[in-house]
Structure 1
Amino acid sequence: MTPLIPLTRDLVLIGGGHAHALLLRRWGMNPLPGVRLTLIDPGPLTAYSGMLPGFVAGHYDAATPQIDLVRLARFAGARLILGRASHLDPVAGEVTVGDRRVGFDAASLDIGVTSEMPGLPGFAEHGVPAKPLGRLARDWAVFRAGEGPARVAVIGGGVAGAELVMAAAHGLRHREARVTLIEKDRVLGAVSDSARALVLERMERLGIEVIEGAGVARVAADRVTLDDGRKVVSDFSIGAAGARPQGWLAQSGLVLTEGFVEIGPTLQSSAPQVFATGDCAHMEFDPRPKAGVYAVRQAPVLFDNLRAALSGGRMRDYRPQKDYLKLVSLGGKSAMAEKWGRAVAHPALWLWKDRIDRRFMQKLSDLPEMGNARLPDPVAEGVREALGDKPMCGGCGAKVGRGALREALAGLPAQSRADVVALPGDDAGLIVTGGARQVISTDHLRAMVEDPDLMTRIAAIHALGDIWAMAARPQAATVSLILPRMSAEMQRRTMAEIMRAAREVLDAAGAHLLGGHSSLGSELTVGFTVTGLCEREPVTLGGARPGAALILTKPIGSGTIMAAEMARSAPGPVVARAWEAMVQPQGRASEILAGAQAMTDVTGFGLAGHLSGICEASGCGAELRVAEVPLMEGALELAEAGTRSTLFADNMAGAGAVVIGAGGARTDLMFDPQTAGGLLAAVDAADAERLLAELRAAGYPAALVGQMVEEPGLRLV
């Protein structure tokens, strides 16, 4: 048997820039055993700068220039931390993300640059920076889709500003557009005279007003005021001037040049374990202008040298080219090529640029299938069937099926203690001591995300669901952990992240974390045993009466989305929003629904399975209005594409006598296993609208999804 290789080194990539995106692809194809790879970036998508002018011009849709970091991280086996880095401590080997510290043995910076524009009066409120690219991509899509006259100002007349202003003029030709380029010095002062003349001629043909030698004094919602008092009408002001390094680098202790991280030929900074690439880096050994072509060509050297730094290997030098071919979009499907001071424009050059850009994006989206480890031959009968044709889901998708669980529980002897009350069908038990009513439950989850902080938050919310479902107040908790086999230092780092996350969730819920137990195993598993106190009799599965309305506090679909994420078929933003839904606590919802006739949390057995449990315990039936059940964004599309959790079939079989009206993907989602799902409550019909309004006011996307009925069984209508 191949030994399990322990994790011994942490590699942290800070920023999802072009070099890091390419590195993730290479890492997925050739990882270094023993290294835990982490990517930190503010969002699940990062924009590819080469295609952004084409998007502004209308040549590409919003998705085309976006690099999906969630998919890339899954391919590379990396944990993804969605957050903005704010500090780097090379001595301690830590990067700060929010109020969280992430340890590293080697780190790499690819965070690009930011803009000086926010320092301009009014820009923060009314302007849109060209970098970082994400906000411009989002806001422009909304603006371009509007109607009526369009007035745009681009501040900054470098190559980036010139491309954007021409793209804006072309993209708004369906509207009565007035587009202005403002430059405090000379437009395109850094390019050759022939290239400048060619671009200015193209701007004139597009009707762009060019203002040179004028600084900007203020930006307002409908105008840009210049230093000399002139006013330029603008409803959409883009800041493409004053690119500067990220300010937090100044406190890193790294040697900087004008705020940029100084690097040598091996791409190492003054701290040998910290590398930097792309626009945030300054090549002290051979200075070059900021351009994406250098980041792309640095990627293979960065990949090799990070591996060498973590394995004791030999590094190699990066040698930048003296000049490079500049392809500049000219608004329409035409481009200019410039090198060695010569420039030419032609539609064929845009086709060439488009082909280069699409090839780059295809490399990061059409990721190769690396294949699973081959089974030995022979194997016992049933092994291949048990493994199936896809990886086992994590979270509640990895639970034992309801049928097997019922059979096991049915064989248990009846409890005999007077102070312990078993509640048939409920996940929590009731302990009565000196008149105090305490509920207790335990739950653990096989990790479905690589980030132990996020996984801990999901697991804690999930475990507390049983307490909240009984309208109890969380009291205390212990944690049970299985960590992947790793070095002592990595154990320390990981345990610190997990315990901090657990404390935050439990403290917010009003529960005290007492401690717990940990061990090493093959993969991360996080569990909690939780207790809660009931001021009155707990709300259970039994007690629902015909005519009661059914309220659901969270949308469903997490099992399908997480199964798709494992297969790299779920869009990054869909996954990120599912994570956000899963970590939403249900404490306030539990308080609002405390007077419910019956209540449960919707978890592994799916909405239909848990509603069937209420029906069985209450001795009546229910109608579930499938069309009114809220779904997580993207879940229906993934289900229609055929994605199913590994627990789906068991949930269909274990839900009991379910009468299904119209079938289809939406109906199938009623059997989708949920992790850290919402509360499902049967409430008096007369109170339903009031409770629904209170839940929505408290921030829950709650909905009325059905009603209890006389006839036993569950009907999906």
Structure 2
Amino acid sequence: MHPHPLPLAQEVVLVGGGHAHALLLKRWGMDPLPGARLTVITPEPTAPYTGMLPGFIAGHYARDDLEIDIVRLARFAGARLIFGLASGLDLSAKTVDVVGRPPVRYDLLSLDIGITSDMPDLPGFGDHAIAAKPLGPYADRWTRHLDEGGPVAVIGGGVAGVELALAMHHALSGRGAVTVIEADRALRDVSDPARERLLSELAAARIDLIENVRVERIEAESVTLSDGRTVAAALTVGAAGARPHDWLSTTGLDLTKGYVTVDATLRSVTDPAVFAVGDCAHLSQSPRPKAGVYAVRAAPVLTRNIRAALTGEALEPFRPQKHYLKLVSLGRKAAVADKWNRAISGDWAWTLKDRIDRAFMEKLGDLTPMAPPPLPEEVANGVAEALGPKPLCGGCGAKVGPGALDRALAALPDLARDDIETGAGDDAAVLRIGGVRQVLTTDHLRAVWEDPYVMARIVALHALGDVWAMGASPQAALAQITLPRMAERMQEGWLAEIMSAAGEVFAQAGAAIAGGHTTLGPELSIGFTVTGLLDRSALTISGAREGDALILSRPIGSGTILAAEMELKAHGRDVKAALDILCRTQGDAASRLATVAHAMTDVTGFGLAGHLSRMARASGLSAEIDLAAVPFLPGATALAEAGVRSSIWAANRAAVEATVPSTARGALLFDPQTAGGFLAAVPEAAAESAVADLRAMGHDAARIGRMTAKGHVTLAGR
């Protein structure tokens, strides 16, 4: 986790992952303000650099080339990242409404949410068309269309629509006509010379431009116009109607044509705690057209003014330039340069645009983790070795290694009790109270993600895993929470988020939160003690039988992905995919497996190989794993191939005696999992239907091997 040597006192919330906020995160990471916590709220882990979008559509760039990785930038800045969609503000309470979770509190707020080209009121748009923004859905739909071919209709004849039309024409290479439809006069936002050149390019490409006609309706294979004409379209792209987000109208902020009105310092003229930049803002003292260049130029001023507002210093004005160079791509590697009412086109303009765009992306991608402070000149022998070569992981990656743990537990006195069942394995204790059997377990994790709400959900599901793995029904939970030192009002906000997330998880599982304990410490850590009730014998790790099939309910690799995220090596999309899986309940999977399993455990800190080895040893058997059948989280294999390992990996590997291929997949068998899947030994005859049922529930389950006669654990494959 990002260190906070001083107490936290101020919450700064950035809504949106626009260019200005991306640059602010880079600057903040290079010079953080002690005592302030940044939070970024954005629905996606990456944000497209719009200047390179036409080049991507034309095939000149890969998707990664134009995606700003908000996950890496947030880690670099020590910021909390919330994957969510903002839907409103409460200016008096100073909270942001976020779909699907409790409101997020702020002391200072900045909006950089851009504009939208979605057309919800246009009949058929939601079913048969795609907006040019956000990139993700458009990129996926465009990729499919490239394979299929067919005519394309672009709604919107501004610069964005014309650029995309030329790009799609170039990529299709004659496998589909392109039509641009504009309700007014096309290309109103460029100079007359640039307009003439762009119209010539459309004509040369045989792209039909229809002006002064509205779209009335969109169907699966056509677009109907207001003059009665029908345009064939296997793909319809919305690049018009750029407008402010609707929810801004409910905030109580002063708006100009729907955009947040700001003064020269980029502060809202209504509320000094709110800033706005980029296309969602209206610069009241120096109005400018909507263009990304102004957001980029505003970023340093926004950063300085937020710091000034937090420290009581004077704010400075933003002075946007009056003229800027427009570089409009032409599909092929050529562009039109437009400035001062002059326009010149050619390959050189593309080269200039490409150089500018790549330089911008390199600036945001060049993130070097802060070096740890040097050791004192004089330290005790062994300090450097104990620190290790990398930062301590969070989650299960921060656990004590299995060897050290087993040796410590072996020294415990044998205090057998009649009301504690033996042979219950290492998942949980089974207590007999009267005629009731109660399962008792506890888990406490160092935070692996900066968001307390998400972290609480993951830890709650992780703690429930032991109860579910033994076939018990969750009953009650006690919370143990350590918060970083912070102002009292922040303590209240953090605890509210943690208990809200935990309450949702335990309520869904049928368990009540019965109490707990809180304290302040150096960093966030969350734990839960959970009880469950058994109406049958406990499922343990010792009941596997020779010939049983091994089923894994969830992909592995979370330890590697989260370790890479801490080191700024993971891709944001892979991190979000992993977190989405870790936040998903598995009670349904455990219930299904419990109907047939001879033995079951949840795969956590010791990794798949470690937990399987313990199951085999406790059952007096051995096991075989088919590596080709093991499911892995997206990105995990590539990171393992690059040498990324979680803190506890070496201890996990040393604790297992097994034949393992020296491959990335082999290494991931020892990767510690947080909120990992269930490993179940089930009868051969029941395996196929169990896997099918788990997949129908939405779990990426797989049959990965079998239990064998006593011998050597074998992990085969590549």
- Using the size of structure 2 for normalisation, the TM-score is 0.97
Matches for 1:239-388 after TM superposition, within 5 Å:
239-269=238-268, 270-388=270-388
Q: Distance in 2 between matches of 1:603 and 1:307?
A: 41
Measured against aligned partners, the alpha-carbon deviations of 1:11-55 in whole angstroms (never above 9, x if no partner) come to 000000000000000000001000111001001111110000111
User: In structure 2, the residue corresponding to 1:397 is in which secondary structure?
Assistant: helix
Is this contact kept in 2: 1:596–1:683, CA < 8 A? Answer: yes
Matched, 1:659 2:665: no
* Counterpart residue identity of residue 491, structure 1: Q
What corresponds to 2:454 in structure 1? Answer: 454
What corresponds to 1:237 in structure 2? Answer: 236
Question: Mean Cα displacement is larger for which, 601-610 or 53-62?
Answer: 53-62
CA apart distance, 1:90: 1.7
User: In structure 2, the residue corresponding to 1:414 is in which secondary structure?
Assistant: coil
Q: Distance in 2 between matches of 1:481 and 1:172?
A: 56
What corresponds to 2:49 in structure 1? Answer: 48
Matched, 1:185 2:184: yes
Matched, 1:195 2:197: no
Q: Distance in 1 between matches of 2:134 and 2:601?
A: 44
* Counterpart residue identity of residue 664, structure 2: A
What corresponds to 1:671 in structure 2? Answer: 670
Alignment length (residue pairs): 711
What corresponds to 1:124 in structure 2? Answer: 126
Is this contact kept in 1: 2:558–2:672, CA < 8 A? Answer: yes
Is this contact kept in 1: 2:76–2:369, CA < 8 A? Answer: no
Question: Mean Cα displacement is larger for which, 58-67 or 597-606?
Answer: 58-67
Where in structure 1 do 4 or more consecutive aligned residues deviate above 4 Å?
none
Is this contact kept in 1: 2:4–2:35, CA < 8 A? Answer: no
What corresponds to 2:714 in structure 1? Answer: 715
Q: Distance in 1 between matches of 2:145 and 2:364?
A: 28
Question: Mean Cα displacement is larger for which, 30-39 or 693-702?
Answer: 693-702
* Counterpart residue identity of residue 284, structure 1: S
Is this contact kept in 2: 1:46–1:134, CA < 8 A? Answer: no
Q: Distance in 2 between matches of 1:493 and 1:364?
A: 31
Matched, 1:516 2:516: yes
User: In structure 1, the residue corresponding to 2:68 is in which secondary structure?
Assistant: strand
What corresponds to 1:690 in structure 2? Answer: 689
What corresponds to 2:486 in structure 1? Answer: 486
User: In structure 1, the residue corresponding to 2:151 is in which secondary structure?
Assistant: strand
Q: Distance in 1 between matches of 2:430 and 2:582?
A: 26
Q: Distance in 2 between matches of 1:615 and 1:713?
A: 10
CA apart distance, 1:313: 1.4
| Distance change (3 Å), C-alpha of 1:567 and 1:513 | same
User: In structure 2, the residue corresponding to 1:444 is in which secondary structure?
Assistant: strand
What corresponds to 1:207 in structure 2? Answer: 206
- Using the size of structure 1 for normalisation, the TM-score is 0.98
Q: Distance in 1 between matches of 2:369 and 2:441?
A: 41
Q: Distance in 2 between matches of 1:179 and 1:576?
A: 35
What corresponds to 2:106 in structure 1? Answer: 104
Measured against aligned partners, the alpha-carbon deviations of 1:663-716 in whole angstroms (never above 9, x if no partner) come to 311111111111100010111112111222222222211111111111244221
CA apart distance, 1:416: 3.5
Is this contact kept in 2: 1:333–1:347, CA < 8 A? Answer: yes
Is this contact kept in 2: 1:12–1:37, CA < 8 A? Answer: yes
Is this contact kept in 1: 2:427–2:470, CA < 8 A? Answer: no
* Counterpart residue identity of residue 619, structure 1: G
What corresponds to 2:629 in structure 1? Answer: 628
Q: Distance in 1 between matches of 2:482 and 2:118?
A: 47
Matches for 1:574-585 after TM superposition, within 5 Å:
574-585=574-585
Q: Distance in 1 between matches of 2:369 and 2:410?
A: 44
Aligned residues with identical type, % of pairs: 56
User: In structure 2, the residue corresponding to 1:112 is in which secondary structure?
Assistant: coil
User: In structure 2, the residue corresponding to 1:63 is in which secondary structure?
Assistant: helix
CA apart distance, 1:422: 4.1
User: In structure 2, the residue corresponding to 1:329 is in which secondary structure?
Assistant: strand
Is this contact kept in 2: 1:52–1:137, CA < 8 A? Answer: no
Q: Distance in 1 between matches of 2:4 and 2:434?
A: 53
Q: Distance in 2 between matches of 1:303 and 1:134?
A: 28
Is this contact kept in 2: 1:541–1:617, CA < 8 A? Answer: yes
* Counterpart residue identity of residue 670, structure 1: L
Matches for 1:486-505 after TM superposition, within 5 Å:
486-505=486-505
Q: Distance in 1 between matches of 2:367 and 2:593?
A: 46
Matched, 1:217 2:216: yes
Question: Mean Cα displacement is larger for which, 383-392 or 596-605?
Answer: 383-392
Q: Distance in 2 between matches of 1:94 and 1:406?
A: 47
* Counterpart residue identity of residue 438, structure 1: Q
Q: Distance in 2 between matches of 1:266 and 1:345?
A: 37
Q: Distance in 2 between matches of 1:84 and 1:276?
A: 17
CA apart distance, 1:138: 2.8
What corresponds to 2:115 in structure 1? Answer: 113
Measured against aligned partners, the alpha-carbon deviations of 1:555-607 in whole angstroms (never above 9, x if no partner) come to 10111111111111111111111111112212111111113111100000000
Is this contact kept in 2: 1:549–1:707, CA < 8 A? Answer: yes
| Distance change (3 Å), C-alpha of 1:491 and 1:423 | farther
Is this contact kept in 1: 2:157–2:187, CA < 8 A? Answer: yes
CA apart distance, 1:130: 1.9
Question: Mean Cα displacement is larger for which, 28-37 or 320-329?
Answer: 320-329
Matched, 1:434 2:434: yes
What corresponds to 1:529 in structure 2? Answer: 529
Q: Distance in 2 between matches of 1:688 and 1:527?
A: 34
* Counterpart residue identity of residue 341, structure 1: N
Is this contact kept in 1: 2:4–2:522, CA < 8 A? Answer: no
Measured against aligned partners, the alpha-carbon deviations of 1:412-465 in whole angstroms (never above 9, x if no partner) come to 111243212244642300111111110000001100100001111110110001
What corresponds to 1:706 in structure 2? Answer: 705
CA apart distance, 1:502: 0.3
* Counterpart residue identity of residue 199, structure 1: L
What corresponds to 2:507 in structure 1? Answer: 507
| Distance change (3 Å), C-alpha of 1:341 and 1:501 | same
Is this contact kept in 2: 1:19–1:278, CA < 8 A? Answer: yes
Q: CA RMSD in A?
A: 1.3
Is this contact kept in 2: 1:424–1:617, CA < 8 A? Answer: no
Is this contact kept in 2: 1:439–1:534, CA < 8 A? Answer: yes
Q: Distance in 1 between matches of 2:715 and 2:4?
A: 49
Q: Distance in 2 between matches of 1:253 and 1:704?
A: 55
Q: Distance in 2 between matches of 1:425 and 1:378?
A: 45
Q: Which runs of 5+ in 2 are unaligned?
A: none
Q: Distance in 2 between matches of 1:632 and 1:345?
A: 46
* Counterpart residue identity of residue 133, structure 1: L
What corresponds to 1:94 in structure 2? Answer: 95
Measured against aligned partners, the alpha-carbon deviations of 1:602-650 in whole angstroms (never above 9, x if no partner) come to 0000001001111111111111222211111111111111111111110
Q: Distance in 2 between matches of 1:677 and 1:449?
A: 16
User: In structure 2, the residue corresponding to 1:305 is in which secondary structure?
Assistant: helix
* Counterpart residue identity of residue 123, structure 2: P
User: In structure 2, the residue corresponding to 1:196 is in which secondary structure?
Assistant: helix
Matches for 1:558-573 after TM superposition, within 5 Å:
558-573=558-573
* Counterpart residue identity of residue 549, structure 2: A
* Counterpart residue identity of residue 65, structure 1: L
Is this contact kept in 2: 1:431–1:439, CA < 8 A? Answer: yes
Q: Distance in 2 between matches of 1:214 and 1:640?
A: 55
User: In structure 2, the residue corresponding to 1:157 is in which secondary structure?
Assistant: coil
Is this contact kept in 1: 2:424–2:538, CA < 8 A? Answer: no
Measured against aligned partners, the alpha-carbon deviations of 1:211-231 in whole angstroms (never above 9, x if no partner) come to 111111111111111001101
Q: Distance in 2 between matches of 1:639 and 1:268?
A: 45
User: In structure 1, the residue corresponding to 2:166 is in which secondary structure?
Assistant: helix
What corresponds to 1:170 in structure 2? Answer: 170
CA apart distance, 1:190: 3.0
CA apart distance, 1:208: 0.6
CA apart distance, 1:189: 2.2
What corresponds to 1:13 in structure 2? Answer: 14
CA apart distance, 1:3: 9.6
